[in-house]
Amino acid sequence: MNRESINKVKNRLNFDKQAVIHIYRICKLLMTHEPDNEIFSKTVHNLLYSVSKILEQEGVFSILFLKNDIYLNKARIVQNITSFAASDFLSKLFSKKGIGGFEFYVLPDSREFLLFFHNLIKYSAAEGTDALNVFEDLLELNGIKNIRVLPVQTLEQITPDEVQVLRDYKKRTLIIYQSTIRFLKDALSSKDYLSGMDMRNAKRLVNQMVDLSGHNIENFSFLGLSAIKNFDEYTYNHSVNVCVLAIAFGNALGLNKRRLAELGLAALFHDIGKLTIPKKILNKPGQLTNEEWDIMRQHPLFAIRLLFNMHGYSESGLKKIIVALQHHMNYDFSGYPRLILEKKLHLFSRIVAIVDTFDAMTTERVYQKALRPDDALRRIISFASKRYDPVLVKAFVSSIGLYPPGTLVELSNGSLAVVLKSNPQYENIERPVVKLVNSSSAQSKEGIINLAEMHSVQIRKSIDPEEVGINPPFYLFNE
């Protein structure tokens, strides 16, 4: 843990212990009273206060119960006489339910807190079911959106996590992004994945992305992460970018967090079948021969066996298989593998088909120059109804704007700027928030202009960043 996080932990005063004691009181009372009883109002109010203090300082409230210890944001809470009984009670309660703890990034309201603990106390998982998954469903059914339950963890898994205590949103998104690339690389470069892979890490990273994608941060867009392109690590980089874009798009479509996480995971593994394609075909500099194409086109089918090995016949595994199998099938079934289904392709496959193409087109490869993002969008629009679901294409363009975050543009006044964030209203589809590349301009302090508010300036055209030697992600992630 670095010095900054240690100081934060020290500065918690007693809010951590207080939160535990309030949770304990609420749980005890819920054993004899219904959650709508007046008796809860003061304790819940106190809980909200101590929790909000920690959330304000650390950006996350993540609590894990392990034997008689409690870990808050991965730091063990030092007990005192009063908190000891509370810890003991709560640890037993959570372990009996088969749940490790819970976390949230946005402060739940008192109703949500009460309902969460009420459901927890009533809950008992049927023999042979996955306690965590069934409880997650129950929470969703009860409209509990902000609190997420965590799996039972061992002490080794609770290593201090600097990312969690990082308040800076941009840095945190960047670290999660890089950690996901590293995770994929480590997991897939050894042959261990063939005998099954521990999905918990992947789930945790994707869940964190889902949470981060839901924050509305001024002049910053979560999907800007997908503007980061790494030529050497294409497979991993592409998979994570498709995951980022799918989550951002799913968010704009209004999917709930649970479905966003499923979509993100399916997107992350959409190309896993490529692991079975010989490297000399996969990385061939130049056009593939017809035979090589035939092999390449089998990657959706290869994925089925790999994913079954990883998951067996689980429901979440099934979504990944569907997306991996269908992502090149095309909306009109003209793609591959050649299968005609009675129903439409799965929603997740239709989403991934669009964002997969978008990322592939905007990335430079040995055999292809990168298209500018607006040109890639135009290409995708031209294939609507044939390759892509036309309704989703429209929704995609309006959610990321005609000039998506990370696009380098020339403005009508001649200056160069990088798009930071699109504006949500349809009439502003061509008027995003931009940052001037040369910010000595006096137009605004940081060189940031919201074109929706400044009608005297327009975007003239997009520019290839290679030609002018500019790296757009630098402008997205640095102040």
Interface residues with Fe ion (CB under 5 A) are 271, 356
What is the distance between the alpha carbons of residues 158 and 169, in angstroms, rounded to a whole number?
22
Return the number of the residue (212 or 353) whose C-beta is nearest Fe ion.
353
Distance of closest approach, residue 384 Cβ to Fe ion, in angstroms: 19
Task: Report which of 383, 362, 387 is spatially closest to residue 373, judged by C-alpha positions.
Answer: 362
Taking the complex as a whole, the smallest distance from the CB of residue 282 to Fe ion amounts, in Å, to: 11
DSSP string, 318-347: HHHHHHHHHTTS-TTS-SSS----SSPPPH
Query: Nearest distance from residue 294's CB to Fe ion, in Å?
Result: 15
Q: Which is nearer to Fe ion, 101 or 404 (CB)?
A: 404
Nearer to Fe ion, 58 or 356 (CB): 356
> How far apart, in whole angstroms, are the C-alpha atoms of residue 257 and residue 356?
21
| Strand duo 408-411 + 75-76: pairing | unpaired
Contact 448, 441 (CB under 8 A): no
Cβ 214 to Fe ion, closest distance in Å?
A: 25
Count of C-beta atoms within a 10 Å radius of residue 342: 4
- Based on CB atoms, which residue is closest to Fe ion, 271 or 389? 271
Distant-in-sequence, close-in-space partners of 320: CB < 8 Å, separation ≥ 6: 265, 266, 269, 307, 311
Q: In what order do the strands lie in the sheet with 69-72?
A: 75-76, 69-72, 61-66, 101-104, 148-150
Minimal distance, residue 311 CB to Fe ion, in Å: 19
Residue 219 CB, shortest distance to Fe ion, in Å, is: 30
Closest approach, Cβ 359 to Fe ion, in A, equals 7
The nearer residue to Fe ion, 136 or 271, going by C-beta atoms, is 271
CB nearer to Fe ion: pick between 361 and 457: 361
Nearer of residues 348 and 403 to Fe ion, judged by Cβ? 348
What single-letter DSSP state applies at residue 228? -
Q: Residue 371 or 429: which CB sits closer to Fe ion?
A: 371
Minimum distance from CB of 323 to Fe ion (Å)?
Answer: 10
Pick the closest to residue 215 from 445, 429, 421, 448 (CA basis): 421
Helix 315-326 with 299-311: angle, nearest 10 deg: 170
Separation CA 290–CA 101 (nearest Å)? 53
Between 151 and 337, CB nearer to Fe ion: 337
Q: How far apart are CA 391 and CA 329, in angstroms?
A: 17
- Residues 325 and 300: beta-carbon distance below 8 Å: yes
**To the nearest whole angstrom, how small is the minimum distance from the Cβ of residue 295 to Fe ion?**
13
